[in-house]
Amino acid sequence: MEHIEKVIDERIQGKALVTENKKENTKKLFIESYGCQMNMNDSEIVASILDKQGYNTTQILEEADLVLVNTCSIREKAETTVRKRLQKYNKVKRINPKMKVGVLGCMAERLKEKFLEEEKIVDLVVGPDAYRDIPNLLEEVSEGRDAVNVILSKEETYGDVSPVRLNSNGVTAFVSITRGCDNMCTFCVVPFTRGRERSRDPKSILEEIQSMVDQNYKEITLLGQNVDSFLWYGGGLKKDFNKASEMAQATAVGFAELLDMCATKFPKTRFRFSTSNPQDMKLDVIHTMAKHKNICKYLHLPVQSGSNAMLKAMNRQHTREEYMELVDNIFKIVPEMSLSQDMIVGFCGETEQDHQDTLELMKYVKYDFGFMFSYSERPGTLAGNKMEDDVPFETKKRRLQEVIDLQQEHALYRTQQHLGKTEEFLIEGTSKKNPNEWKGRNTQNTVAVFEKGDYKLGDFVMVKVEDCTSATLKGTVVGYSDNN
């Protein structure tokens, strides 16, 4: 259970981000990110934009000229944490009055008036599509005016911005391929804070990956709110694809094709992607994963509930049966696939039978990993506006614990399947518990720890798995893999 809760906490944990600094830059930027990996990647884009404005990153809050917090609105806990951080920033600001404070991301778009007009706790508010405007907004602030830009874009993908890699291990990196989301799930604020789906030019994606490969990164994760919806037909919103010319439609690039391009062009680089949506997942993607050894055999496939009634209430565009059929087909095509889930417990109107349906679905799939939450009403969502949050807190708490306990059981079952096998792992860093051990991940995204020996960060090594917990494998390195 500790592992599951730790994973949940890490999804909303803020991180002070830092990178190598330029000597010619004289101003200091302190930037923290909360929420999903898209937010982390957005912070890298912001750091790149501000690097050209003379800012180096710092991890010392008190010395910063500019403090930015990149925010998440997906859960109430994340918003509460950000508000506490803003209070701390403003205490430091009283000591260092030249320091400016800004809010970026999803909370910025959702709470712009509160931050600027009612609470007056920040100097600038910048939505996810307006990061290029930050230099102009800072000029507004320097002239004594509050600055805000939360306009959502139909075109912005930041495809031409080379992100500054923050807090990087030098081995793994993230590359955004889509922005926004068209799936109006009733519990989710993302379509309202990040706008409609649009995809990035494949050429710019391949160029960014090439720059990462040139810097010796070994694993790339392709990111999007819904990567399976990737569709490049020359630019514009996905929903406008049918209005495009016949030539544009005929030459469009979908996600399976993009994935194939990446794996083919960079055969020594491992690829992952996240997040997938069951209603948009096509089997051509799974066949592409089967075709390429360097595409990791791991899918994050959020289901949210095992109940058809709840799936309908959530406006998930699939049924329980369709999801199970998709899972069956995935395992037929890639038997060694590892699956993880997102699960919301206690959604509006959830009955005990709905909850049992979720537990039964989990038993059917036996997920390797899980991210589980009790429902909290998010203002601005369809559920927040039109549905009653009617499941008692104690009931949510009990149901969530049952889901966590079952996931823990399945996680142990899945890690036990690796015992006695010799598998490839990419060394990502030092074990948190033992400085004499490396930690690495296999193709299924499972972590192993093993003695360092003469191996180094970024090596692909073959490890014989000898022991496990529900979270971690333990083994002995038997040599390098043929991927080095």
- Binding site: residue ranges? 36, 72, 106, 181, 185, 188
Cβ contact 49:132 at 8 Å: yes
Cβ contact 74:105 at 8 Å: no
Cβ contact 74:188 at 8 Å: yes
What span, in angstroms and rounded, lies between the C-alpha atoms of 442 and 449? 11
The C-alpha angle 6, 7, 12, rounded to 5 degrees, equals 95
What span, in angstroms and rounded, lies between the C-alpha atoms of 475 and 372? 29
| Segment holding 166, helix H or strand E | none
Question: What interhelical angle do 37-51 and 134-142 show, nearest 10?
Answer: 60
| Other Cβ atoms within 10 Å of 250 Cβ, number | 9
Residue 446 zone, left/alpha/beta (φ > 0; ψ -120 to 50; rest)? beta
Q: What is the β-pairing status of strands 270-274 and 447-451?
A: unpaired
What span, in angstroms and rounded, lies between the C-alpha atoms of 377 and 381? 8
CA-based nearest residue to 163, from 212, 129, 114: 212
* Residues that constitute the known binding site for [4Fe-4S] cluster: 36, 72, 106, 181, 185, 188
| Segment holding 139, helix H or strand E | helix 134-142
Amino acid at 339: L
What span, in angstroms and rounded, lies between the C-alpha atoms of 258 and 411? 31
What does the block give as tokens for 479?
A: 């040599």
Which residues, 6 or more positions from 449, have their beta carbon under 8 angstroms from its beta carbon?
431, 433, 434, 437, 438, 439, 472, 473, 474
